Amino acid sequence: MKIKRIAIVGGGSAGWLSANHLGLELLRDSEVEITLIESVDIPVIGVGEGTVPALRASLQSFGIREADIILQCDATFKTGVKFVDWMTVDKREKDNFYYHSFDLTYPGGYDVTPYWLGSKNVEYSKLSSAYCLSEENRCPKRKSSPSYQGVINYAYHFDAAKFTTLLSDNAKKRFGIRHIFETIKQVALHEDGSIQGFYYESGEYEEFDFYIDCSGFSSVLFDKALAVPFVDRSDQILTDCALALQVATDPREEIFPYTKATAHGSGWVWDIPLTTRRGTGFVYSSQHMSDAEAISEFSKYHGKDLEDTDVRKIPMKAGFREKLWEKNCVALGLAGGFVEPLEATSLYVTDFCASMVAKRIPVTREEIPLYAKSCNAIARLIWDRVIDFIRVHYAVSNRRDTSFWRDVTEGVGLSDVLAERLELWRYSIPQRTDFPSTYDFFLVESYLMVLYGMDYPTRVPAMTERIGNLSKNAIVEHLSRSSELADSLLSQRQWLTEFKEYSATHKS
Ligand SMILES: Cc1cc2nc3c(=O)[nH]c(=O)nc-3n(C[C@H](O)[C@H](O)[C@H](O)COP(=O)(O)OP(=O)(O)OC[C@H]3O[C@@H](n4cnc5c(N)ncnc54)[C@H](O)[C@@H]3O)c2cc1C
């Protein structure tokens, strides 16, 4: 039986990313109709404003103009994450930070890490060109940079609600996605347990052939109807609550081109600059900090007294569904899993899996088992390794000042893979070959920056004088080139202001 009617449940960023991916792949088949169902009574989560560079390629493939991301979503450019206070404060005093940048730390394409380990003559983060740009609030694009290209690698920060509208407008206009507002009250199942259709609150009933669950944490199809088990990873990831707060900014203020992640006694604070405001959030472990303490600590971060009512509390649970694909249904976005906001992994995983599924949407129901098995295996791999990468930020810290930091460094477990890797990296520098899977989303470059940003104690390898000198010179040249590059770029604020002025006078 041909699959002709596809339903996407949920109008958040996961739903609309999926709609664009499906639209792109299925446009050529005029017999297929894609419907996105959204409830007016159940709001979208409304956070999720930091991204990774991979999203650029998807947005471009959907036919979205980069100018529209900038102009319509209050977007700014992100060259990485600045981690502040993730190490013992008194060890590094005021320079207590490191970067995980999207630009690699291979000066001139050369891995200087073996030399660096022996000399530690500069902070490891400085081996990426992004360091200078970030510290000077520079824009990773020139005025002449083509759309979706920069002088170094970058991602976006954007207003989540406006981003969803942009995706939605594009999916409807370009791919003819049908969009309806209904709340699913009950899910009807076929005899084999697959999904047959929906009873809506409005009293209507509708059937589809294939279903994508993007209903957020409520996971209406995967959890409630299909009962796909949840793989709970809260034993490894202890942060389980976030307080979100948006703060207005002065339009003349510089815009830092990174997500700032400042550690505190029981978690960390995200700080994401947009052109019009900052999105901030206090992430914490409820086992280690009460809500009242969290609000008080968050108040300190903002330098003003916050009340319960000023912030939005969002509970989280680290883990993922045992399967991405069950019978005639796939779960994407928060319905499929979530770790925590660090490193913006959620939209990353959603975008990748939505693209993977869209390329594998079966033509007939009989093909489903062929695709489901491999997609499930890949999704499982992705989740396990993404959790490792988040976990490593906590695991290798030298902070022991609170029970939270003692627990995340010494108390709670690591996956077997991460435990083995960390043991190996005590003796030998991480290598590309330590990451044999294509679905390890964070590879050696990312691990190098986090591990050596946090002084991970790898044994210093022996090295000839010639290699030592080559590395030393590569670092010196790189530092001078990075500084020249930063000097040649506009500040992010100036670039964005001039871009907006130019766009206003050159409307197409
Ligand atoms: C604190 C926090 C911070 C985050 N920060 C980041 C970040 O910086 N970067 C990042 O990549 N990700 C981040 N995320 C994750 C990100 O917010 C999500 O990946 C993204 O918003 C997608 O959400 P979603 O579409 O899956 O769910 P939602 O936005 O919750 O959308 C769910 C949709 O389902 C619909 N729905 C639900 N039930 C029904 C029903 N019965 N009938 C009909 N419709 C229904 C709702 O109406 C809604 O449209 C963060 C998440 C949290 C919790």
Q: For 45-176, where are the alpha helices, taking DSSP H only?
A: 54-61, 66-72, 89-92, 113-119, 130-135, 160-175
Pairing of strands 178-181, 33-38: parallel
Give the pLDDT score at 181: 98
Q: How far apart are CA 124 and CA 98, in angstroms?
A: 8
- The structure's pTM equals 0.96
Give the pLDDT score at 91: 56
Q: Model confidence over 59-93: pLDDT tens digits?
A: 999 999 999 999 999 999 999 999 999 999 765 55
Give the pLDDT score at 90: 64
CA of 492 to the centre of ligand 1 (A): 29
Catalytic residue among 2, 78, 185, 500: 78
Q: What's the whole-number mean pLDDT along residues 292-296? A: 97
Q: Model confidence over 422-438: pLDDT tens digits?
A: 999 999 999 999 999 98
Q: What's the whole-number mean pLDDT along residues 175-190? A: 98
**3-state helix/strand/coil string of 403-459:** HHHHHHHHHCCCCHHHHHHHHHHHHCCCCHHHCCCCCCCCCHHHHHHHHHHCCCCCC
Q: Model confidence over 377-425: pLDDT tens digits?
A: 999 999 999 999 999 999 999 999 999 999 999 988 899 999 999 999 9
Locate the DSSP E strands across 131-266. Answer: 155-157, 178-181, 184-189, 195-200, 205-207, 210-213, 230-232, 241-248, 259-264
Atom of ligand 1 nearest to the CA of 47: 17
Domains along the sequence of the chain with CATH: 5-74+157-232+318-385 (3.50.50.60)
CA of 46 to the centre of ligand 1 (A): 7
Q: How far apart are CA 43 and CA 414, in angstroms?
A: 35
> Is 185 labeled as catalytic in the residue annotation?
no
Q: Is the predicted pLDDT of residue 308 greater than 60, yes or no? A: yes
Q: Model confidence over 132-178: pLDDT tens digits?
A: 999 999 999 999 999 999 999 999 999 999 999 999 999 999 999 99
Q: Which of 396, 65, 16 is nearest to 212 (CA)?
A: 16
Q: How far apart are CA 268 and CA 97, in angstroms?
A: 13
| Ligand 1 pocket test target in 321, 346, 352 with most atoms within 8 Å of CB | 346
Q: How far apart are CA 256 and CA 78, in angstroms?
A: 8
Q: Model confidence over 348-359: pLDDT tens digits?
A: 999 999 999 999
Cβ–Cβ < 8 Å for 196, 365: no
Amino acid letter, 503: S
